Amino acid sequence: MKNLIREQPILFSIITLFWLKTLFVGLIDFNIRMENPLQLLIFIISPLPFLLVVLGLIFTCKPWKQFLFTIMLMVITTVILYGNGIYYREFSDYITIPLLLMGNVSDLGSSIFALINWYDFLYILDVPIVLYLLILGLRKKTVFKKHTFGQLRPYFIFVAVIFVLNLGLANIERPLLLTRSFDRALLVKNIGIYHFHVYDATLHANTRAQRVFASEEELAEINGYLEKNIGDATEDLFGIGEGKNVILISAESVQNFVIGNTVNGEEITPFLNELIEDSFYFTEFYHQTAQGKTSDSEFLINNSLFPLARGAVFFTHASNEYYSLPEILGEHHYYTAVLHANNGSFWNRDAMYKQMGYDRFYTEDDYSINKENSIGWGLKDIEFMEQSIEHMVQMPQPFHVKLITLTNHFPFELGEKDKFIKPFDSNSKTLNNYFPAVRYTDEAIKIFFDRLKEEDLYDDSIIVIYGDHYGISSFHNRAMGTYLGKEVTPFIEVQLQQVPLIIHIPGLSGEKNDTVGGQIDLRPTLLHLLGIKAENQVVFGNNLFSQDREDLVILRNGSFITKDYIYTDDLCYSKDEEMKVEKMMCEPYFDEVKNQLEYSDRIIYGDLLRFNDFQKNE
């Protein structure tokens, strides 16, 4: 080994540079936190096996190829680091293969530019040094010496030992790490970003095979497990909205912390605050989305299944059999439609909506959109609401519509005259602009309510407003901490995943409800209010009005929230004490959390619902 280093000082120096760069990006851009020295050690070792294996392979090449492959390695590692770095800024997550295959990226336009920072040149700070060292090496003919695999055997054994050490230590620190593949933050922290991508590729190959080997028995096993979710005996509010129109408003990126809150002394959501007074408002309701963002929230709400941990199920499994909310409502003589003034194929919606049984999808082609009435991602919410009402008055009743707002989308652009409140003042432009953008959407919803009343649609409707997912990623934690007046710890970060859920039933006064719920629970809740008991459902959520429901919300990354505890980042927190507690307090839920996520995944990967006999309730 020593000899090898003596013979290849330049390539070893370059690999050391790549190693250090990987560690810096991990600490700074991936926001990886260490809880103890062992975690730090694992983190430091984790990029090495990959880098050293590639280096070993490079040693076996001719000198000029050693030169070339080292440059290629530099390019590949930089692309991996920077690609994930940029992605992490908005999504607090890492790139996976299904995500790359979606091709949504070209539609992201202004969002991508907003993620690029001036200091990003630091990502290529090593390039001139590496090039200098490589040219130096080429000049000193003796440096890039070719080695045979035989000569390198001790070297590869050494690398294998480091790899086993990395996995061994990671397993001590986080048992069953590789079976919890949905928690990418833990994976990257423990096996490093490069091995994560290799692992992701193997997962990709595996999941594709699952449909072929799926069987009816699997569904029976899952149904047995889910039995507890069926047969909720709660009578309270059952059928209270029978036969009414059901209007869902998916409020883009609206998080719960804005509700009842102010910025610069001004209310952020004055209309929603007022609406809550005579609605059912769920004070602790979480989004459970992952890489599919809005589409994941739609999937959760329609199917009461978890979205996938990798990629967007709307793209990867749009031809599966489902028994979705619109289909059930259709069986109960509802006309069902989605209204969203964006491209119909974004998130593969056009295909997936058909599969989920919607009668109609009103896309950007159904709206008059021009320069004056659009901003950022497209038609402004107020215009959208006004034009949507025009479509709704034409619909047969009862109808079920979902309106998806757009203006409050990252990077939260807004024209000056649409800023009803002033931005926040912090080092995060994103957070600053978030507040006026939310305020604008609040105004759009107010106008929508006014118009519903004018068109006599209000009294016969149930109106549900929910946030689809977070708007402010953890990249803005420092600014968010300034706004909240407290540090954003992982414990607070989980609570920031709360989104509003407001169920407004005209004529009912409603009340605040502090049950711990998530998007997966909305479908059973709605069916309960509508008095619909569909048979043969395979659902993971439960009625939020139920007296005997278990307060447990499982986030897609395996974090979870109960009445008393929050589990995240492999740590357990007490909600009352607002501090870390022994992990054993959270342990009783581990199996259930793992089972639910795995069963839901098996349903999707295996397309298991094709084996179900859905009883059509015509």
Contact map string, positions 450 to 479, toward Mn ion, x by CB under 5 A: ------------------x-----------
Q: Helices marked H in 457-589 — which ranges?
A: 477-484, 490-495, 522-530
446 binds ligand GP9 (CB under 6 A): no
Peptide bond into 398 cis (omega under 30): yes
Residues 307-346 close enough to bind ligand GP9 by CB under 6 A: 342, 346
Q: What DSSP assignment string belongs to 59-113?
A: HTS-HHHHHHHHHHHHHHHHHHHHHHHHHHHHHSS---HHHHHH-GGGGGTHHHH
Facing residues of 574 across strands? 565, 579
Q: How far is the CB of 386 from ligand GP9 (least distance, A)?
A: 19
294 binds Mn ion (CB under 5 A): yes
Q: How far apart are the first and last CA of the chain?
A: 75
Q: How far is the CB of 456 from ligand GP9 (least distance, A)?
A: 30
Q: How far is the CB of 509 from ligand GP9 (least distance, A)?
A: 33
Residue number with CB closer to ligand GP9 (112 or 226)? 112
Residue nearest to ligand GP9 (CB): 293
Residue number with CB closer to ligand GP9 (102 or 268)? 102
497 binds ligand GP9 (CB under 6 A): no
Contact map string, positions 341 to 370, toward ligand GP9, x by CB under 6 A: -x---x------------------------
The set of catalytic residues is 294
| Interatomic CA distance for residues 380 and 583, integer angstroms | 46
| Interatomic CA distance for residues 309 and 96, integer angstroms | 10
Torsion over CA of 189, 191, 197 and 201, rounded to 10 degrees? Answer: -130
Residues 233-262 close enough to bind ligand GP9 by CB under 6 A: 252
Residue nearest to Mn ion (CB): 294
CA angle 233, 236, 237 (to 5 degrees): 120
Q: Side chain identity at 447, as an amino acid letter?
A: I
| Interatomic CA distance for residues 387 and 376, integer angstroms | 18
Instruction: For residue 553, give the nearest of 271, 184, 306, 374 by alpha carbon.
Output: 306
Q: Side chain identity at 570, as an amino acid letter?
A: D
Of the candidate residues 293, 400, 439, 556, the single one contacting ligand GP9 (CB under 6 A)? 293
* 404 binding partner (options Mn ion, ligand GP9, none; Cβ < 5 to 8 Å by kind): ligand GP9
Q: How far is the CB of 174 from ligand GP9 (least distance, A)?
A: 30
* 197 binding partner (options ligand GP9, Mn ion, none; Cβ < 5 to 8 Å by kind): none
404 binds ligand GP9 (CB under 6 A): yes
Facing residues of 516 across strands? 284
294 binds ligand GP9 (CB under 6 A): yes
Q: Side chain identity at 554, as an amino acid letter?
A: I
Q: How far is the CB of 417 from Mn ion (least distance, A)?
A: 24
402 binds ligand GP9 (CB under 6 A): no
Dihedral sign, CA of 328, 250, 480, 267?
negative
Residue number with CB closer to ligand GP9 (72 or 101)? 101
Per CB under 5 A, the segment of 245-253, 430-438, 485-493, 516-524 that binds Mn ion is 245-253
Contact residues for Mn ion (CB under 5 A)?
Answer: 252, 293-294, 468
Contact residues for ligand GP9 (CB under 6 A)?
Answer: 252, 293-294, 342, 346, 404, 406, 409
